[in-house]
Structure 1
Amino acid sequence: MAFSENYRQSLIPSFIYSSSSASKKLIDMDHLMSNRNIMLNSSSSPSISSNGGVTSSKKSIVIPAPNEPGKIEMFSPAYYAACTVGGVFSCGLTHTSVTPLDLVKCNMQIDPAKYKTISSGFGILLKEQGIKGLFRGWVPTLLGYSAQGACKMGFYEFFKKYYSDIAGPEYAAKYKTLIYLAGSASAEVIADVALCPFEAVKVRVQTQPGFARGLSDGLPKFIKSEGALGLYKGIVPLWGRQIPYTMMKFASFETIVELLYKYAIPTPKEQCSKPFQLGVSFAGGYVAGVFCAIVSHPADNLVSFLNNAKGATVGDAVKKMGLWELCTRGLPLRIVMIGTLTGAQWGIYDAFKVFVGLPTTGGVAPAPAPAAVSAKM
């Protein structure tokens, strides 16, 4: 269909093709920008002049507080760096703080005849090694889980965004749990490579009295005894323990927090105070930690067994311990330890995110993509 010249011109702003009216249609950009600055400048306040007009009185610019939202751009390099640092604090500090519990658990797994219960385990360690002995192996614990936490949290945030972008908004919202599972599993594969050498030395130091005082002398002894590759002898059982644990940790946490804000908390998340949101993070993390402990406990027993017995295999562990013992030995203590640990990790991680100006994790389901509307010609 042919259009007349006048009709085509009527669809185009006149100042584009009419030179005679250009001076009348051009916008005074200086005037527009000055008005925009007055409206958007939060450091200026209006005052009434003597002739009834409104003037703007300039004040000093206020630097945003560290916890002011928007300080770090979401999904920017700075965002992933902040999540990585938050992972160092959340995992390194919490695992180190429960070293006594971890020490008793490992010894119950290796020598159940001697360390029969939690209380007797603590009593034996105190009697034989004193208070100081309860924190044996804290250095490899701190360094190992700090490295693991950095990779786990930083790469989880990266892979969650990466897989969501691949799926697209509609499928990312529909299959969000699969996104959480895939993102956390991918992150944990990398995180365990960083953790494994420290975990191997930690277990040997904690379960073999006299082997070494800590990481500084334990690492050379371990390498001399097992070789450098021996540090990664437990990588497959470690993946078997940590990947299901982390998948449960992230997917259940995200789901629990979302359900809490949806059904149990009458106020939308964005209207809740930051301390309240951090409380929700801890509660959701604790419940998620209980599930994590149950799912990953058999592999945890395998890791302790393999790192304590030279040349042992998974088959040896199953044959000696049996399936029931493999799934239950030391489980009550691990539920208490991992529940508290996971709750504290999410609390610390989200507290750090709030401190640097980021929102807490979870609680808002991804919005599906709006349906495409086809224009009719």
Structure 2
Amino acid sequence: MDSSKKNTMYNITSNPFFSSNNNKPFSTPKDGYSSYVFARSPLEPPNGKIEMYSKEFYAACGVGGALCCGLTHTAMTPLDVVKCNMQIDPMKYKSTMSGFNILHKEQGLRGFFKGWSPTLLGYSMQGACKMGFYEFFKKYYSDMAGPEYAAKYKTLIYLAGSASAEVIADVALCPMEAVKVRVQTQPGFARGLQDGLPKIVRAEGVMGLYKGLVPLWGRQIPYTMMKFASFENIVELIYKKAIPVPKEECSKPLQLGISFAGGYIAGIFCALISHPADNLVSFLNNSKGATVGDAVKNLGLWGLFTRGLPIRIVMIGTLTGAQWGIYDAFKVSVGLPTTGGVTPDVAIKTKELGQENPM
């Protein structure tokens, strides 16, 4: 590679969309370069607290993920209880309002918080894996792609990174999800995690906790891919089209507000794409020995896509917006930048790399 190409690459690395991989935790230099570049949030002035892409960075992202997913899913437990019962017994729970009324009449206020303990533990573990591994895979795949393709195919990197992270996260979530659904939809099954978990293991063995893993992947992987890719692009568009100053000049409260707004919009798309699999997960975890074919036959194709959908849109939109807000607030509290919001310099790539279609 001639010197002009090298200069081109280093000009690109000056763009805030990229960052030098001086620590080289996942790759080694080649082609004479001393650094790699990758798609990521913009760098901010060092604060002496946590070095970007260090072990401490990924640990902090994991803690932020545990907080944002565990707390928000637990807070949404009443809506989740109603939604699951609407999916399992639509003849009894015909609408959201009637579902709330029936649960209150039959079980009182405590009925709305059934399954809160497996929800808190399960989604805390899932969130830690999801956010921590997303940051890891986003950087890892971008390093593999190199500077030119990391910019050109940034959305594919978001999709691949989030999908990889979710595969791991769902293995952590699945046992708690199995307990949660049964506690919420089978009266008298168990009071919560402490007695519900061993009851499933005694009846069906350890693998009984994982029989919903494949449909859980079917629900969560598309959901998470949509959640991360749409969030990153929506936030980028907000800063590009609606905010008159660069992101680094915006106040932290404004940046966090944009994170919430971007997350809420992304959550609506997430609910739409993952809802059929959500109905499958609820049905399979509630019906011993049931198959996906049984679920489709029982729910019907229309019911698979629509049963419980309005309440899930409200639930997931609020949930996703709050998650990104909490996650970025935690990152800011430990001195890290908020997520997303920088566009690659198209002019540099077009003129200096000679790309006809840079994006």
Counterpart in 2 of 1:28? Answer: none
Q: Aligned equivalents of 2:319 and 2:125: distance in 1? A: 16
Structure 1 stretches of 5 or more lacking a match?
1-66
Give the counterpart letter for 2:75 in structure 1.
S
Taking structure 2 as the reference length, what is the TM-score of the superposition? 0.84
Counterpart in 2 of 1:60? Answer: none
* Aligned: 1:293 with 2:271: yes
Counterpart in 2 of 1:215? Answer: 193
The offset of 1:71, in angstroms, is 2.4
Give the counterpart letter for 1:161 in structure 2.
K
Counterpart in 1 of 2:284? Answer: 306
The offset of 1:225, in angstroms, is 1.6
Q: Aligned equivalents of 1:108 and 1:182: distance in 2? A: 33
Q: Aligned equivalents of 2:271 and 2:119: distance in 1? A: 18
Any conservation in 2 of the 1:185–1:247 contact (CA below 8 Å)? yes
Counterpart in 2 of 1:365? Answer: 343
Counterpart in 1 of 2:165? Answer: 187
* Aligned: 1:260 with 2:238: yes
Counterpart in 1 of 2:106? Answer: 128
Any conservation in 2 of the 1:169–1:366 contact (CA below 8 Å)? no
The offset of 1:365, in angstroms, is 2.7
Counterpart in 2 of 1:327? Answer: 305
Q: Percent identity of the aligned residues?
A: 80
Secondary structure of residue in 2 paired with 1:364: coil
Any conservation in 2 of the 1:106–1:304 contact (CA below 8 Å)? yes
Q: Aligned equivalents of 1:110 and 1:178: distance in 2? A: 36
The offset of 1:324, in angstroms, is 0.6
Give the counterpart letter for 1:207 in structure 2.
T
**Superposition RMSD on alpha carbons, in Å?**
1.5
Any conservation in 2 of the 1:289–1:340 contact (CA below 8 Å)? yes
Runs of 4 or more consecutive aligned structure 1 residues displaced over 3 Å after TM superposition: 67-70, 366-373
Counterpart in 1 of 2:138? Answer: 160
The offset of 1:180, in angstroms, is 0.1
Counterpart in 1 of 2:221? Answer: 243
Secondary structure of residue in 2 paired with 1:134: helix
Counterpart in 1 of 2:82? Answer: 104
Secondary structure of residue in 1 paired with 2:108: helix
Q: Cα distance 1:361–1:70, how it changes in 2: closer, same or farther (>3 A)? A: farther
Counterpart in 2 of 1:348? Answer: 326
Give the counterpart letter for 1:94 in structure 2.
T
Structure 2 stretches of 5 or more lacking a match?
1-44, 355-359
Q: Aligned equivalents of 1:372 and 1:68: distance in 2? A: 30
The offset of 1:226, in angstroms, is 1.7
How many residues matched? Answer: 307
Give the counterpart letter for 2:298 in structure 1.
K
Any conservation in 2 of the 1:234–1:307 contact (CA below 8 Å)? yes
Any conservation in 2 of the 1:292–1:338 contact (CA below 8 Å)? yes
* Aligned: 1:231 with 2:209: yes
Q: Aligned equivalents of 2:48 and 2:293: distance in 1? A: 53
Give the counterpart letter for 1:269 in structure 2.
K
The offset of 1:223, in angstroms, is 1.0
The offset of 1:367, in angstroms, is 5.3
The offset of 1:70, in angstroms, is 5.1
The offset of 1:133, in angstroms, is 1.1
Give the counterpart letter for 1:323 in structure 2.
L
Taking structure 1 as the reference length, what is the TM-score of the superposition? 0.80
